[in-house]
């Protein structure tokens, strides 16, 4: 007998399927338990409603066809104009909407490689230089594009080693990839210095600001010191910024912003070699949902600049409350970061045990392995959840000291939490790759 789940011969009633769907929803991590990791960015307070309603209204449209739809084109134009403005661009700047940070980074590296093919035809195996902290998706996309990534170890304080990066620029280097902030360590790289280096060496500087692009302007307004990283920095040619992170768009939605049309010129992949004439899509993917773009349009116009600042203030208060508490717990410390990511490391404690203990209290957490730390994406937790999180952290440490915890937690992204509940693709993937999970 096949173990495949097959299409039921006849459908169940609306009520029955709704009951089953609700059961599936109940099986998901409660929103607040993963709000500092996997369930972050679910919308902002009352504005969530307008985003959900707008999403439902645009449920059936395909954004591949914005060339036929004036309303859809207006929605995309407005959202991209706002994004360009937020990352320090002007009328000369250009932007494209994509499905996420992965696609935005792909578009940047793809354009960079095409640019290099024209400007540096002597290079056969193009290379980019990046700090070790660069996001995995830059490596993934470089593999797709046959670009070699030369990574440079972080300095002792976990910041990017600019001198080290400069030292490995060689005859095959076409660009520099850098982060604002980096996912693992939460800091913005010294992008002004890297901008000078890029200009001096005629290299393409790409900033992966998937996390920072749409929160940094509001944090700065609240007095946070965030190093310059956007189009105000000479030498930066492209920036990826995720709307589905701190822009609070429903997934999937990100942006790739180009300094000017001169950079965007290397982005498009027009196809005419088929029976239907010109095929031109905005990014790498074809069909994509219009609903998230419309939802963020509604959110942006409902919240306005002041609404995003007010949300940023809540994030800062939560981040600072966590820092204060963690620093007061003997054995734990936080890393200094720029913005909304926060890492909690153990001083004389195994932080993986802390994750294990926190899981027993119902918290879903992500981590960094090198060096080990809990990795928080700060989002708006309810007051009671924040109190519970902080109290559970204190109890977890006390329980570890009392020898009551022996289960380590800290999954990597390809980690299998439990074979019985794991997706088949993942089990198959780990089998194919022979990796130990
Ligand atoms: C800095 C950075 N770049 C790229 C990505 C990839 O984004 P996505 O998962 O939307 O493809 C992430 C995701 O967390 C990120 O933090």
Tens of pLDDT along 173-182? Answer: 999 999 999 9
Q: Ramachandran region of residue 305, left (φ > 0), alpha (ψ -120 to 50) or beta?
A: alpha
Report pTM: 0.96
- Residue-wise pLDDT for 193-251, tens only, equals 999 999 999 999 999 999 999 999 999 999 999 999 999 999 999 999 999 999 999 99
Tokens of 368: 């960094």
- Lookup result for tokens 């990017």: 160
Distance between Cα 88 and ligand 1 center (Å) = 21
Q: Which of 31, 74, 377, 8 is nearest to 210 (CA)?
A: 377
Is the CB–ligand 1 distance for residue 41 below 6 Å? no
Query: Can you tell me the distance from the alpha carbon of 64 to that of 285, in angstroms, rounded to the nearest whole number?
Result: 9
Residues pairing with 80 in the sheet: none
Distance between Cα 303 and ligand 1 center (Å) = 24
pLDDT higher than threshold 60 for residue 437: no
| Three-state DSSP state, 305 | helix
Contacts of 291 (CB under 8 A, 6+ apart): 54, 55, 56, 58, 59, 61, 250
Angle at 179 between CA 200 and CA 322, to 5 degrees: 145
Average of per-residue pLDDT values in the chain: 95
Q: What residue owns the CA closest to ligand 1's atom 8?
A: 101
Is the CB–ligand 1 distance for residue 131 below 6 Å? no
Distance between Cα 55 and ligand 1 center (Å) = 22
Q: What residue owns the CA closest to ligand 1's atom 2?
A: 210
pLDDT higher than threshold 70 for residue 411: no
Query: Can you tell me the distance from the alpha carbon of 61 to that of 57, in angstroms, rounded to the nearest whole number?
Result: 9
Query: Can you tell me the distance from the alpha carbon of 434 to that of 432, in angstroms, rounded to the nearest whole number?
Result: 6
Distance between Cα 138 and ligand 1 center (Å) = 9
Confidence at 414, pLDDT banded by 50, 70, 90:
low
pLDDT at 114: 98
Q: What percent of the chain has pLDDT over 70?
A: 98
Burial pattern 124-136, b for ≥16 Cβ within 10 A else e, equals eebbbbbbbbbbe
Distance between Cα 104 and ligand 1 center (Å) = 9
- For 51-300, CATH gives 3.40.640.10
Tokens of 34: 């993963």
pLDDT at 399: 96
pLDDT higher than threshold 60 for residue 271: yes
- The residue to mutate among 36, 98, 101, having the most atoms of ligand 1 within 8 angstroms of its beta carbon, is 101
Phi and psi, residue 256, nearest 5°: -120, 120
pLDDT at 412: 66
Neighbours of 175 (CB within 10 A): 28
Q: CA–CA distance from 309 to each of 2, 247, 424 (Å)?
A: 54, 12, 42
Phi and psi, residue 264, nearest 5°: -65, -25
Is the CB–ligand 1 distance for residue 189 below 6 Å? no
Query: Can you tell me the distance from the alpha carbon of 357 to that of 344, in angstroms, rounded to the nearest whole number?
Result: 14
* Helix H or strand E segment including 100: none
- Residue-wise pLDDT for 123-169, tens only, equals 999 999 999 999 999 999 999 999 999 999 999 999 999 999 999 99
Distance between Cα 350 and ligand 1 center (Å) = 27
- Residue-wise pLDDT for 32-52, tens only, equals 888 898 888 877 777 899 999
Is the CB–ligand 1 distance for residue 208 below 6 Å? yes
Is the CB–ligand 1 distance for residue 399 below 6 Å? no
Burial pattern 398-414, b for ≥16 Cβ within 10 A else e, equals ebbeeeebeeebbbeee
Query: How many Cα atoms within 13 Å fall on the side-chain side of residue 354?
Result: 31
Contact by Cβ (8 Å): 152, 182: no
Cis omega before residue 303 (within 30°)?
Answer: no
Burial pattern 342-358, b for ≥16 Cβ within 10 A else e, equals bbbbbeebebbbbbbbb
Query: Can you tell me the distance from the alpha carbon of 46 to that of 348, in angstroms, rounded to the nearest whole number?
Result: 42
Distance between Cα 15 and ligand 1 center (Å) = 38
Q: β-strand 127-131 against 173-179: which pairing, if any?
A: parallel
Is the CB–ligand 1 distance for residue 137 below 6 Å? yes
Distance between Cα 366 and ligand 1 center (Å) = 14
Q: What percent of the chain has pLDDT over 90?
A: 85
Contact by Cβ (8 Å): 337, 185: yes
Angle at 258 between CA 254 and CA 259, to 5 degrees: 145
Q: What residue owns the CA closest to ligand 1's atom 6?
A: 101
Is the CB–ligand 1 distance for residue 179 below 6 Å? yes
């Amino acid at each position: 007998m096949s173990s495949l789940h097959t299409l039921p011969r006849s459908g169940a009633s609306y009520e029955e399927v709704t009951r089953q769907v609700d059961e599936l929803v109940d099986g998901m991590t409660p929103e607040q338990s993963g709000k500092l990791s996997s369930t972050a960015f679910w919308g902002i307070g009352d504005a969530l409603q307008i985003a959900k309603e707008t999403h439902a209204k645009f449920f059936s449209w395909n954004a591949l066809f914005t060339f036929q739809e004036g309303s859809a084109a207006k929605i995309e134009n407005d959202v991209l104009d706002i994004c360009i403005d937020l990352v320090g661009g002007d009328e000369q700047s250009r932007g494209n909407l994509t499905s996420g940070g992965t696609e935005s980074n792909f578009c940047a590296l793809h354009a960079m490689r095409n640019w290099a093919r024209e400007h540096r035809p002597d290079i056969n195996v193009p290379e980019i230089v990046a700090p070790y902290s660069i996001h995995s998706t830059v490596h993934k996309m470089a593999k797709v594009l046959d670009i070699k990534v030369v990574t440079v170890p972080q300095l002792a304080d976990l910041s990017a080693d600019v001198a080290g990066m400069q030292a490995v620029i060689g005859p095959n280097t076409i660009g520099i990839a850098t982060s604002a902030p980096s996912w693992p360590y939460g800091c913005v790289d010294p992008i002004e210095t890297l901008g000078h280096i890029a200009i001096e060496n005629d290299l393409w500087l790409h900033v992966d600001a998937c996390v920072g692009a749409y929160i940094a302007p509001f944090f700065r307004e609240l007095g946070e010191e965030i190093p310059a990283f956007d189009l105000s920095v000479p030498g930066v040619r492209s920036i990826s910024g995720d709307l589905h992170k701190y822009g609070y768009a429903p997934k999937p939605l990100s942006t790739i912003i180009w300094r000017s049309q001169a950079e965007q010129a290397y982005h498009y992949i027009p196809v005419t070699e088929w029976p239907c004439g010109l095929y031109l899509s905005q990014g790498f993917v074809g069909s994509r949902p219009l609903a998230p773009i419309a939802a963020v349009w509604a959110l942006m116009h409902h919240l306005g600049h002041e609404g995003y600042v007010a949300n940023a203030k809540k994030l800062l208060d939560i981040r600072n409350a966590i820092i204060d508490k963690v620093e007061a717990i003997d054995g734990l410390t936080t890393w200094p970061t720029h913005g909304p990511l926060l890492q909690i490391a153990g001083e004389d404690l195994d932080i993986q045990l802390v994750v294990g203990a926190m899981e027993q209290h119902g918290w879903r957490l992500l981590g960094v392995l090198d060096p080990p730390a809990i990795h928080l994406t700060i989002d708006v937790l309810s007051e009671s959840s924040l109190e519970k999180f902080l109290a559970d952290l204190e109890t977890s440490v006390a329980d570890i000291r009392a020898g009551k915890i022996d289960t380590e937690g800290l999954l990597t992204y390809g980690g299998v939490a439990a074979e019985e509940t794991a997706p088949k693709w993942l089990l198959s993937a780990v089998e194919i790759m022979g990796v130990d999970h």
